[in-house]
Amino acid sequence: MAAKDPDSGGSGEILPITPSLSETTSGVTAASQATQPPSSSSDVDTVYVPSYSRWFTWTGIDDCEVRSLPEFFNSKSTSKNPKFYMYLRNSIIKQYRDDHPRKISFTDVRRTLVSDVVSIRRVFYFLEYWGLINHSSSSSAKPLKWDEKSAGDASSEPPTTAKETAKRICNGCKSICSVACFVCDKYELTLCARCYVRGNYRVGINSTEFKRVELSEESKKVWSEKETLQLMEAVMHYGDDWKKVATHVTGRTEKDCVSQFVKLPFGEQFVKESDSEDSLEAFDQIKGSADLESGGSDKEGSSPNKRLRLTPLADASNPIMAQAAFLSALAGTKVAEAAARAAVTALSDVDYEAEKNATGDPNRQDANANSGGEITNSERDWADAKSLIQKEEQEVEGAIKEIVEVEMRKVRDRIVHFEKLDLEMERSRKQLEDMKNLLFTDQLNIFFHTRKARKSEDRVDVKT
């Protein structure tokens, strides 16, 4: 039988690792072990492995391992091979069992294994998920004093409970039989219809040896006093949790428990009185079921109990809707409406938040949130800074203008000065020219005069 995923595999009961580990086909031992209470608290040496991890062996690799950790089996890298995987897996399990019952942490393991830490982490998570390490053998609910007593009761009367549960629980798939079951008196086996058809029984048994027993006509209608007493006790302790009530009341389905409870003479009173209480619980449970719905379908087929919780009001095809319808019938229409509305709004909030977280990094998210709050402040600061900058620019421009003006004035003064000098030069040059001219005319005059004088001299000389 292929190893099923732990979530989908029936009751996930605990089997101790002893040499007499029961196979699924040995019905008697399985039945008796199924009803044995987990007395592991006293027995420290026995390591408990859940039944859905029965495939584990030290030297072999099962299909579910190949499926869950394909990186070791796809021969993409030379060192991530099956042998390496077995080294990791066996070391982790051995380390856990050496220190049992202390839980082993991932850091303990990764410090002692020679490998990259992410491969170790994947193998570690895989083993933890399948209960091969850190499996707590006690059930998740904390046992009340009253629960222990009932567990003691159950252990003290195994034969009767075995017989009664044999009527209900199939030895093959450990699920509660519904419509019909097949009983083999020779070997005291009870199989549900599916297992019978599949042939899920021991080799030596012939199919003809099974007798079909219709459960629908069994002693459903007749409630013994003991059963009623158990029912009342269960309801008093568990209130509205009909699953727990049904498990406490041996041999009755939830539907039966509820209908019987309602039928009790004071049942009506209970239902009416605790209406307010019911409404809150109904709200919680509806929200829980709605969350289950949004959370994914991995819980949907988790136990056949849900399938059986049929009510005449609801369509039995969707188990969760059936549960919701049943609870709303219990709580009353107005209350159910209010609860549903509240659940829907809560759901939408959760979705919105999940979206927000999914779309961005938490870091980026924080940055966005911070910046959104301070956006007006920063804008204002930015505007202030800008105006300051502009003012400074203007000041600088003014200063530069002044400087330029001063320089220009200086230059102009110098030019004026030079012009004056130039003028002076011209004047003096002109004067010089005039004087030159005068001199020249004077020279000419003198020359003419001397010529005249010489000429007259010559004439005088000639006369005498």
Partner 1 sequence: MKALGSSGWKGPVKFRMPTAENLVPIRLDIQSEGQRYKDAFTWNPSDPDNEVVVFAKRTVKDLKLPSAFITQIAQSIQSQLSDFRAFEGQDMYTGEKIIPIKLDLRVNHTLIKDQFLWDLNNFESDPEEFARTLCKDLGVEDPEVGPAVAFAIREQLYEIAIQSVASARESRLSKKGRRGSDHGSASKASGLSMDLVKLFSFKSSVVRKRKDLDVYEPVVDLLTSEEVDALEAREERHAR
Give min distance, CB of 79 to partner 1, in A.
5
Residue 75 vs 107, nearer CB to partner 1: 107
Q: Residues touching partner 1: how many (CB under 8 A)? A: 19
Is the omega angle on the peptide bond into residue 101 within 30 degrees of 0, that is, cis? yes
Burial 255-290, CB ≥16 within 10 A → b, else e: bbbbebbeeeeebeebeeeeeeebbebbbebbbebb
167, 200, 205, 325 from 187: Cα distances, Å: 14, 14, 8, 41
- The residue whose two tokens read 């859905």 is 52
Span of 114-122, 199-207, 229-237, 431-439 interacting with partner 1 by CB under 8 A: 114-122
Give min distance, CB of 371 to partner 1, in A.
20
> In which region does residue 174 sit, left (phi positive, over 0), alpha (psi from -120 to 50) or beta (all else)?
left
Q: Contact at 8 Å (CB) between 321 and 314? A: yes
Among 1, 17, 118, 375, binds partner 1 (CB under 8 A): 118
- Looking at the DSSP bridge assignments, the partners of residue 214 are 180
Among 18, 20, 75, 107, binds partner 1 (CB under 8 A): 107
Under the criterion CB under 8 A, does residue 111 sit at the interface with partner 1? Answer: yes
Under the criterion CB under 8 A, does residue 105 sit at the interface with partner 1? Answer: yes
Cα maximum dimension of the chain: 206
Under the criterion CB under 8 A, does residue 134 sit at the interface with partner 1? Answer: no
Q: Which two tokens stand for residue 202?
A: 């021991």
Give min distance, CB of 151 to partner 1, in A.
32
Under the criterion CB under 8 A, does residue 117 sit at the interface with partner 1? Answer: yes
Span of 27-35, 56-64, 76-84, 395-403 interacting with partner 1 by CB under 8 A: 76-84
Span of 36-44, 47-55, 73-81, 255-263 interacting with partner 1 by CB under 8 A: 73-81
Under the criterion CB under 8 A, does residue 119 sit at the interface with partner 1? Answer: yes
Give min distance, CB of 355 to partner 1, in A.
18
> To 10 degrees, the CA torsion angle through 391, 392, 393, 396?
130
Under the criterion CB under 8 A, does residue 114 sit at the interface with partner 1? Answer: yes
Span of 30-38, 102-110, 268-276, 311-319 interacting with partner 1 by CB under 8 A: 102-110
Looking at residue 169, the DSSP 8-state letter turns out to be: B
DSSP string, 6-31: TTTSTT--EEE-STTPPPTT-HHHHH
Among 24, 25, 86, 106, binds partner 1 (CB under 8 A): 106
Under the criterion CB under 8 A, does residue 79 sit at the interface with partner 1? Answer: yes
Residue 53 vs 119, nearer CB to partner 1: 119
Among 80, 168, 174, 252, binds partner 1 (CB under 8 A): 80
The distance in angstroms from the start CA to the end CA of the chain is: 183
Q: Contact at 8 Å (CB) between 121 and 106? A: yes
Under the criterion CB under 8 A, does residue 75 sit at the interface with partner 1? Answer: no
102, 298, 305 from 133: Cα distances, Å: 10, 22, 28
Among 20, 42, 78, 333, binds partner 1 (CB under 8 A): 78
Residues 222-281 within binding reach of partner 1 (CB under 8 A): none
Under the criterion CB under 8 A, does residue 74 sit at the interface with partner 1? Answer: no
Radius of gyration of the chain (CA): 53
Residue 103 vs 341, nearer CB to partner 1: 103
Under the criterion CB under 8 A, does residue 115 sit at the interface with partner 1? Answer: yes
Residue 75 vs 156, nearer CB to partner 1: 75
Under the criterion CB under 8 A, does residue 89 sit at the interface with partner 1? Answer: no
| Alpha-carbon dihedral sign for residues 114, 119, 124, 130 | negative
Q: Contact at 8 Å (CB) between 7 and 297? A: no
- The residue whose two tokens read 């252990």 is 155
Under the criterion CB under 8 A, does residue 450 sit at the interface with partner 1? Answer: no
Q: How far apart are CA 214 and CA 83, in angstroms?
A: 52
- The residue whose two tokens read 């040496």 is 45
Residue 119 vs 250, nearer CB to partner 1: 119
Span of 112-120, 257-265, 326-334, 455-463 interacting with partner 1 by CB under 8 A: 112-120
Contacting residues toward partner 1, per CB under 8 A:
77-80, 105-108, 110-119, 121
